[in-house]
Amino acid sequence: MTMPDPVMVAAADEATATKPVGEDIASISRGRLVLRRFLRKRLAVLGLFLVVALFLLAFIGPHLTKWSYESQDFNAYLKPPSPSHWFGTTQIGEDVFAQTMRGMQKSLIIGLLAAFLGTGTAAIVGAFAGYFSGWVDRVLMWMVDLLLVLPGFLIIAILSPSFRGKTWLVFVVLLAAFVWMITARVVRGLTMSLKEREFVQAARFMGVPPTRIIFRHILPSMASLLIIDYTINVGGVILAETGLSFFGFGVQPPDVSLGTLIRDGTRSASTYPWLFQFAGGLLILFVLAVNFVGDGLRDALDPNAQSSRAR
């Protein structure tokens, strides 16, 4: 459920775009350069602003209203948005704003965590496969193929009874387990070319153990690819999470996420649109903002990819 595009485009130029490790002066100026390129993209800046704003809203918002997500207003059942209930109320008088904020908190946290785990797995699996080649490579890449044949969505749905009643962190790990495969392939390809570069060769001939070479030299050299991949994954994971929760295969009560809210709201979607419109709108807005940021980051971090496209 991720989008491979930025990763693949970035990958083509990653090997040439990276700086030699350990040059502090160069890294400062590169950071500035990246920042300047990023700020030039209006949509990306807007996206970043939206991401931050939505985060603040999700965590500060609940304190701005006197209603909590559990409390009921016995004087307002199924009322449309009003000054006292900004997003309206549900069938049993719950405040939709408070519920939406709570759902958004969970969705955002799940997105950030699962995407991090996913990108991390991709980096480690890809780098090990590429660095060691031989049977390690064959076994790992074969696992990747296997997972690509089965949509993760189906497997998580099948496994959903087993994490019902357990912590939502299990769900996070499962989500992460199905987003790393394509990036792992890209990382593997890059590692294979980085392995032949002088700074890696030098480390190897000095006797640095392979694990250390991977974590100290190879992975930092593809940091920009991994950052882009992480951003894209956040959007993808949130879409996957809300989708699974929509069917009841994801976040389980008493936890709520944007997905469970939309599911509950769409049952009477045409008559009481406020029950799902706000959760849906915020979901689209957040994923859209994340995608803008990812797109901007790709252009900022991979000048070569950009120049090839701007020709």
Q: Which residues bind another protein (CB under 8 A)?
A: 1, 3-5, 9, 43, 145-146, 148-151, 153-155, 157-162, 182, 235, 239, 242-243, 246-249, 262, 266, 269-270, 273, 276, 280, 283-284, 287-288, 291-292, 295, 308-309, 311
- In the DSSP assignment, the letter for residue 162 is H
> Got the DSSP string for 36-85?
HHHHH-HHHHHHHHHHHHHHHHHHHHHHHSS--SS-B-TT-SSPPS-SSS
Say if residues 301 and 33 touch (Cβ distance below 8 Å): no
CB of 263 to another protein, least distance (A): 8
Q: Do residues 182 and 176 touch, judged by C-beta distance below 8 A?
A: no
User: Residue 99 Cβ, how far from another protein at the closest point, in Å?
Assistant: 17
Residue identified by tokens 């949130």 is: 238
Smallest gap, in angstroms, from Cβ of residue 142 to another protein? 9
Residue type (1 letter), 57: L
Residue closer to another protein (CB basis): 43 or 208 = 43
* Residue 309 vs residues 12, 30, 103, 232: alpha-carbon distances, Å: 12, 21, 39, 20
Select 60 or 269, whichever has its Cβ closest to another protein.
269
CB of residue 249 vs another protein: minimum separation in angstroms? 7
For the record, the structure tokens of 213 come out as 């070479």
- In the bound state with another protein, the residue whose beta carbon lies nearer, of 12 and 109, is 12
Closer CB to another protein, residue 214 or residue 283? Answer: 283
The upper half-sphere exposure of residue 298, i.e. CA atoms within 13 Å in the direction of its Cβ, equals: 26
Least distance from another protein to the Cβ atom of residue 79, Å: 19
CB of 203 or CB of 239, closer to another protein = 239
User: If DSSP codes are grouped into helix, strand and coil, which group holds residue 273?
Assistant: coil
